[in-house]
């Protein structure tokens, strides 16, 4: 095993980070009457229990996050193993077709959720912290729902994977 002690090459760093599997979440809300969402493979649960906090990282250049962050309430849907096509579609640059054929549930608060997800969290913004070319967003969990029978979608080796239950 060889460790690099200098600032790593960005491509090598990307390859290294890609070896860490992570869940995939849809972060969405209805803003000004329009469904808005982004896909994050940086979503993390268990940041804090008191208050209940989760987090994700968003690129500084995101055009969607500045819109979503204006919402009163934000929906987090942990994507299910069969949601890969939705992940690609919602993450696409074609904003007009992001939700075409995607089954969503809109809460009274305007939080947007994907149906058929193993975990739903209704959240409000707790804080944002600059983090290099991203911002870390801490969200307070205000409500939740779960379906433990469903398997999550996983991002690993720069691609989507399904988890198999034992």
Per-residue pLDDT of the chain (166 residues; tens, 9 = 90+): 666 566 677 887 777 776 666 788 999 999 999 999 999 988 988 899 999 999 999 999 999 999 999 999 999 999 998 888 898 899 988 888 899 999 999 999 999 999 999 999 999 999 999 999 999 999 999 999 999 998 887 755 555 556 665 5
List Cα–Cα distances, 55 to 25, 61, 95, 128, 160, in angstroms: 11, 18, 24, 9, 20
Evaluate whether residue 60 is within a structural domain: yes
Query: For the domain that residue 73 is a member of, what is the CATH number?
Result: 2.30.110.10
Evaluate whether residue 44 is within a structural domain: yes
Burial of 75 (0-12, 13-18, 19+ CB in 10 A): buried
d(CA 129, CA 4): 28
Tokens read off for 68:
């979503």
Evaluate whether residue 112 is within a structural domain: yes
User: What's the number of domains the chain is made of?
Assistant: 1
Evaluate whether residue 45 is within a structural domain: yes
pTM: 0.86
Look-up of token digits 């239950």? 165
Range of the domain at 118: 23-162
């Amino acid at each position: 095993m060889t460790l690099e002690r200098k600032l790593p090459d960005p491509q090598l760093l990307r390859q290294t980070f890609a070896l860490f599997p992570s869940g995939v979440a849809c972060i969405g809300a209805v803003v000004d009457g329009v469904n808005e969402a982004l896909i994050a493979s940086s979503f993390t649960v268990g940041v804090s229990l008191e208050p209940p906090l989760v987090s994700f990282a968003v690129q500084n250049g995101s055009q969607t996050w500045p819109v979503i962050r204006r919402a009163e309430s934000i929906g987090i849907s942990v994507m299910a193993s069969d949601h890969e096509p939705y992940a690609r579609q919602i993450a696409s640059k074609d904003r007009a077709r992001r939700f075409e054929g995607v089954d969503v549930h809109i809460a009274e608060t305007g939080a947007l959720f994907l149906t058929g997800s193993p975990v739903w969290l209704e959240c409000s913004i707790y804080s944002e912290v600059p983090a290099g070319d991203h911002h870390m967003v801490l969200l307070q969990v205000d409500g939740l729902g779960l379906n433990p029978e469903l398997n999550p979608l996983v991002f690993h080796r720069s691609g989507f994977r399904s988890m198999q239950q034992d």
